[in-house]
Each structure stands twice: as C-alpha cells, then as structure tokens.
Chain A
Amino acid sequence: MALLDIEGLSVRFQTSSGLFAAVEDVDIRVDRGEVWSIVGESGSGKSVSMLATMGLLPWTAQVTADRMEFDGRDLQQLSARERRRIVGGEMSMIFQEPMTSLNPCFTVGTQIDEMIKQHKGGNRKERHERALDLLAQVGIPDPARRIKAYPHQLSGGMSQRVMIAMAISCDPRLLIADEPTTALDVTIQAQILELLLKLQEETGMALILITHDMGVVAETARNVIVQYAGRQVEKQAVKSLFASPRHPYTEALLSALPERASGQDRLPTIPGVVPGQHDRPTGCLFNPRCQYVTEHCREVAPVASPGDPARTLCHYPLGSPGDATTPDDVSPGDLPPAPSDSDASQSEVRP
C-alpha cells in the first residue's frame, strides 16, 4: 500500500468567467521513504495539486479525485477534524516564500510549540526542549537565542530552516516542499536542498519536491512527474528522464539547461507561455509550443498509452517505451539505472 495514493485528481476554480481547470487527471503514488519531484513551469498546477492534497485551497476550488488516500485512509471521506490530524502531523508542507510564511506576531518558538502541542501534546518544558532540538537539527546556530526571535529578525534562509523545523516537528511521514528554494540566494538554495535530503535520509520520511528547476530535480529527486498546464505529461525515474525524455515538453525543458547548451551562443528556450484560462488550445495543450507538432496534435487530445510506463501524454512519444523506467521498477534504495543498461521490464512496444 502506497503512503500517498492519488488517482484522477482534478481541481477546478470558480471564476467570474466560469470554471477553470487548474489541475486535471493527475496521478501521484508515493511510497514510504521515496523522494519525488514535480516539475513544470509556473501555471502548470504543481502547487495546486499538492495544496489540494493538503486541503489548503480556498473555498472557490472544487477538488475531485477517483482516489485520494493517505496511508490507506480516504482523505475525501474524512471529517475536517480527522483530516486536520493528518495535515501537519503525518503530512506537512513548506512553502515558496519563507519570509511571509511565518506569522510576524509570534516568536519562532511559539510557532513551533503550537504545532507540537496540536499533534504531540506534552508539557511546556518537553515541547521547549523539542523545539530547541529541532532548531539545532535544521542547522540554526544558537537555538536558545533564536527561539525567542521574531520572523522579521531572520533572513530568508533562516526562516525556511524554521519552516522546515516546524514541518518535521511532529515526525511526518510525508513532507511536501513547494519550491522551497525559489525565493532564496543560490548559495542558500543548495544548503536548504541538502538539509531537506539529509533530514529525509535520517527520518525516512517521503519527500515531494515541487520545483521548476530541472537542476534541482537532478540533484535531489529519484522520481519525477512533469506537469504542463495542469496535466501530468510524463512520469519517470530521474536518470532515465534525463537520458531519454519521452515527452517533447520534457525534452525542451532539458535542452534549456545551461549544462546541456555548451557551444551554443544562446540558451534554447521554449517559445510562448503556458496557456491560461482563456487561451487553451484544442487537441494537445502543448501543441502551440511543440517543435514536433502535427495536424493530428492540433485536433485530438492525447491519452497516455497503457503500455507506456512513463504514461506519456503525447501522440508521438520520443524514444521507445523500453527506455523509460518508472519508480515502480526501482527497488527503494537503489539508484535508478542509467538508460543504456536499464532493464526494460515493461518493454511492451506500442503498435
């Protein structure tokens, strides 16, 4: 049984001009201790799908899913009170803007303490000790002093460390990190990612890292979901994804990496932007920006082939399905095999 098992997740927002589908038909299956990454441009619905899982979307959002389970419990059937016990306790989340994510009116200690009190209880002294331990664990120097600090006295990196300390304070089994480094300096970014991975290894919790940075994906995740315009377009283990992307969008993202563009004057980009509510094309959502586009793509929306382990949402996937490895093929703890020597366990080729 997977820790987080989501199938057919859709999120629609009620707007003045009708319903807007921000996320459509997304499947996420995360096992204990796995590290996943969800990657895509702004507007691809990565944050929205995770906020929906946490139940943090505003009331204008309509969330539907064929299945939405955490540790075997159906999140859609739980009462608000039961769900609050999971959210924060067993499944916690950190956000993109650490500077605004902490309440400016309360000290760091109070905010950590509140979380522990809510889910773990214990007396004031125990909770204080725990908070000090947590601050030390996330690498904050002089925790005894910092615990009395207000958020405005902390830098962005420090704030994100505090957010992480808070998020792991109740020993969650799943941590969702929503672009945790986007607002930070490059040097701090690396430190925070390192910290997240270290904590993941130490505690054995599962980690879902939302990012738009393929570089971050390469450094951190084992498995990747690529989202585009609210759709999941591809899902692969990280090594095979980098070696042989199946979706033209993934390929375009990868070729925009500076490391892969050596010898060229200009960094390749993907022309255009993610379609919004009013300019969604017919057929494949990526067709206006795809270099392989055909008439068929403009008319018919693609569906993933059941034989494709990467579940590529494309009429003409790149490479062969045998090149793709899915997380399910990889035993936890092993590195995903390189594409050249991948054991193509699901080598069923599409007709």
Chain B
Amino acid sequence: MVREAALTAASRPRVTSQTSNMLRFLLVKLAQLVPTFIGVTIVAFAFIRLLPGDPILLMAGERGISAARYAELQAQFGFDRPLVVQYWDFLKGLLQGDLGDSLVTHSPVTGEFFSRFPATLELSLFALAFAVIIGLPAGVLAATRRGKLLDHTVVGVSLTGYSMPIFWWGLLLIMFFSGTLGWTPVSGRISFMYFIDSVTGFMTIDTLLAGNWDAFLSALHHLVLPSIVLGTIPLAVIARQTRSSMLEVLGEDYVRTARAKGLSNFRVIMVHTLRNALISVVTVIGLQVGLLLAGAILTETIFSWPGIGKWMIDAISRRDYPSVQGGLVLIAFIVMIVNLLVDVAYGVINPRIRH
C-alpha cells in the first residue's frame, strides 16, 4: 500500500519533468542560434563589401562623378566611417528591426523584402510539396522493389535530377511545355487579365479570397513549371534518402518482429518501416528548405518570378549594400527558424529524443 502510494507520487512529477525536458530542449536550441546569427551578420556585412564595385560609382553611371560629390555622397550614406562602426550601426539597427533603406529605391529594406517574400515562399512550398509527394513514395517503392527495374529507374532518374543545372533544366521545360506544346505560361505569377488585391501575398490564397476561381486556376497554372524546376533537386535528394533509409530500416530486427506478428505487408512497410525511416528523411526535407530559398534565386530569374531571388540578384548587381546584407540576414534567419522547427518535428517523430 505504501509502495503503491510512493509509485503514484513518483509518476506524477515525471510527467512535468517530460514537459520541462521539451522546454529545455527548445531553449538550448534557441541559445545555439545566437552565435550562428551573429556569424551570419558578419558574413552578410562583409560579403557585399568584398565584391569589387562601388555603389556610388554605379549610381552615377557612365557620366562619372566629381570627387567632391563622391565624398559628399559617401558621407551621406555613412560609407566614409570605419567598417567596424558601420557594422555596429547595422547590428544596432537590426536589433531594433531596422535594416536601413535601399540605396536604389530609398524605401526600407524590410518592407521591400517582406512584400516579395510571400511570392518566394509560395513557390518554395509548392516546389517542396511536389518534391515530397513524388519523392517519398518513389523512395519507398524503390526500397521495397530493391534491385528490380523500378528501383534502378528511381535511382537513375534521381541521380540525373540531382546533377542537372537548374537554369538549363528550366529552359528545357519552358522550350518544350511552354514553347512547343503551349501548355504552360512562360513567366510571371498570374495572367495579366486578373488584378488581385494582395492580402496575404500568396497568389493562390488571394485569388480564393477574392472568390475569383479562374484567377486561382491561372495562378496554379503559373506555378506548375517553376515548382517542378525548383523541386527537382529536392525531389532527387528526398527520393534517394527515403530509399536508403527504408533499406536500412527494412533490415532491422523490429521489422522482422512486425512480420512475425502476421501483419500485412502494407502495414509492415507503411507503419513499422516508414515511421522509422522518416526520422532521417524529415531532417533532409528540412535542409531542403534552405536550398529552396537559395535555389529560388535562379528559378525566379528564369521565370521572371517577382520574389526575393530576383530582388537579391538586382540588389547585388547594383551593389545595394543595405538590401543585400539585410536580405541575406533575413533569409538566414528564416532558414534557422525552419531548422529549429525541424528539430522539434524530429523530437515528435523520434521518442528517443523526446524523452
């Protein structure tokens, strides 16, 4: 009786200790982000200044600029101060949520970034959905048919997809599906026929909010090719990771136990094997998010997609220091947050991490 009471008493604080474990896990992960973030600000700040070229000279163009005017502009933008001071100002502004104004448009960098970011995010999400919806089943099927034709096909195609330059692949698809077949639009987010008020910045959601079904279909139509192009490399990576992870788990003792229980093949594969294989696949999917945001730069340029990729390219070519360093820091910040979410998801899937 006394022992029972002691057990119940002991089991209660255990629940709270599990919750605090999760909280501590999160806090540690967050604390680990701080040095990474400081490193990112240094790299972002230094990167654009290491590139040859001068924003003021580029602004002046071919006519040139007098030395006096040049010095005046330098002072105006603060480029005449020591780099350390400039960096310190950048960091101070950053902590207050102020990334400065663009040298080109003279409007705040954060505003410019977040007005374009939904377009990139929408494209990346569709690309990721494409990659996961095709890549995961392809990897599972390849693993269950190891050594058969389907397996070789999946491995071969994903190797090809992984090795293909994005810009070349994009141009090929445009030439064939948009040019020869005329099935898909060549560029842009939506047909010029539609004028949709931006509410969320997501074209697919805004068209639905506006109740314009045709515009929604047009937006989807415009997403098809860019999503395929952007999703190709993640698709290849996810398919290969799923396949190898499944093959590894299929050899585990507990999969044999599942078979020994008389479970159907479907249940053995989809529940007992896939659940464990997903642990490493989720990590890889999370890493793809960073690659998608980076890869979007090329894809957006090919498809004239008005997202941050295209904006960054323009900013770099104009040596727009505040836009480039601010854009880089914001992208890095988003990638870090996504990675944190992946870590949390990892804990949810894998009970050994959670407890």
Given contacts A84-B263, A88-B260, A118-B263, contact A145 B252 (CB under 8 A): no
B134 at the interface (CB under 8 A from A): no
B residues 259-277 near A (Cβ < 8 Å) are 259-265, 272, 275-276
Instruction: Give 8 new A-B contacts, CB below 8 A, not counting A105-B349, A118-B261, A152-B352.
Output: A84-B263, A84-B264, A93-B260, A95-B256, A101-B254, A102-B257, A103-B272, A150-B355
A residues 184-198 near B (Cβ < 8 Å) are none
The number of residue pairs between A and B whose CB atoms lie closer than 8 Å in the complex comes to 74
- B76: chain A residues within 8 A (beta carbon): none
B7 at the interface (CB under 8 A from A): yes
- A338: chain B residues within 8 A (beta carbon): none
B261 touches A88 (CB 8 A): yes
A89 touches B262 (CB 8 A): yes
- B256: chain A residues within 8 A (beta carbon): 56, 95, 101
How many angstroms between the C-alpha atoms of A163 and B257 in the bound complex? 9
A103 touches B258 (CB 8 A): yes
How many angstroms between the C-alpha atoms of A55 and B263 in the bound complex? 12
How many angstroms between the C-alpha atoms of A214 and B352 in the bound complex? 37
Give the distance to chain A from B257, nearest Cβ to Cβ, in Å. Answer: 5
Task: Count how many chain A residues have C-beta atoms less than 8 Å from C-beta atoms of the other chain.
Answer: 32
A153 at the interface (CB under 8 A from B): yes
B262 touches A88 (CB 8 A): yes
Task: Count how many chain B residues have C-beta atoms less than 8 Å from C-beta atoms of the other chain.
Answer: 23
Given contacts A142-B7, A150-B352, contact A104 B260 (CB under 8 A): no
A105 touches B260 (CB 8 A): no
How many angstroms between the C-alpha atoms of A283 and B141 in the bound complex? 46
B350 at the interface (CB under 8 A from A): yes
A97 at the interface (CB under 8 A from B): yes
B253 at the interface (CB under 8 A from A): yes
- B275: chain A residues within 8 A (beta carbon): 103, 105-106
- A104: chain B residues within 8 A (beta carbon): 254, 276, 350-352
- B16: chain A residues within 8 A (beta carbon): none
How many angstroms between the C-alpha atoms of A114 and B263 in the bound complex? 9
A244 at the interface (CB under 8 A from B): no
A216 at the interface (CB under 8 A from B): no
B262 touches A84 (CB 8 A): yes
A54 touches B260 (CB 8 A): yes
How many angstroms between the C-alpha atoms of A166 and B260 in the bound complex? 11
Q: Per-position contact with B for A83-95: 1 when CB-CB < 8 Å, else 0?
A: 0111111001101
- B257: chain A residues within 8 A (beta carbon): 95, 101-103, 163
How many angstroms between the C-alpha atoms of A103 and B259 in the bound complex? 12
B11 touches A105 (CB 8 A): no
- B265: chain A residues within 8 A (beta carbon): 80
- B276: chain A residues within 8 A (beta carbon): 103-105
B262 touches A166 (CB 8 A): no
- A88: chain B residues within 8 A (beta carbon): 260-263
A119 at the interface (CB under 8 A from B): yes
- B252: chain A residues within 8 A (beta carbon): 100
Q: Per-position contact with B for A106-117: 1 when CB-CB < 8 Å, else 0?
A: 100000001100
B253 touches A101 (CB 8 A): yes
How many angstroms between the C-alpha atoms of A55 and B262 in the bound complex? 10
